[in-house]
Amino acid sequence: MQLPEGVECQVRPRSGLALKHGITLPNSPGTIDPDYRGEVRIIMQNLGPEPVTLLRGERIAQLVFARFEALEVIEADELTDTARGEGGFGSTGTS
């Protein structure tokens, strides 16, 4: 796979496999960067109670292509204030 610059490929689970068998992708969405060259491989996990046999050619994941901007990171001595501030996990759903 060779993606154009500024385009990523997101690898996502298929809802049917998740619903029927408990198959998921633990690092979802996975990201394939435009500078990657090589075979696309999928990390899968069976959370269901039974083993599942997947056949060659069966659809096991879906790919979503998205544009992105690569930004230059600039170190700052100070940041502007916001209502949330440094509030972390769960800080915005309490009121």
For 13-79, give the DSSP string. E-HHHHHHH-EE-TTPSEEE-TT--S------EE-SSS-----TT---EEEEEEE--PPPP---S--
pTM: 0.73
Rounded distance between C-alpha atoms, residue 46 and residue 26, angstroms: 10
Share above pLDDT 70 across residues of the chain, in percent, rounded to a whole number? 97
Which fold, 7-67? Deoxyuridine 5'-Triphosphate Nucleotidohydrolase; Chain A (2.70.40)
Which band of pLDDT confidence, cut at 50, 70 and 90, is reported for residue 90? confident
Q: pLDDT of 31-71, one tens digit each?
A: 999 999 999 999 999 999 999 999 999 999 999 999 999 89
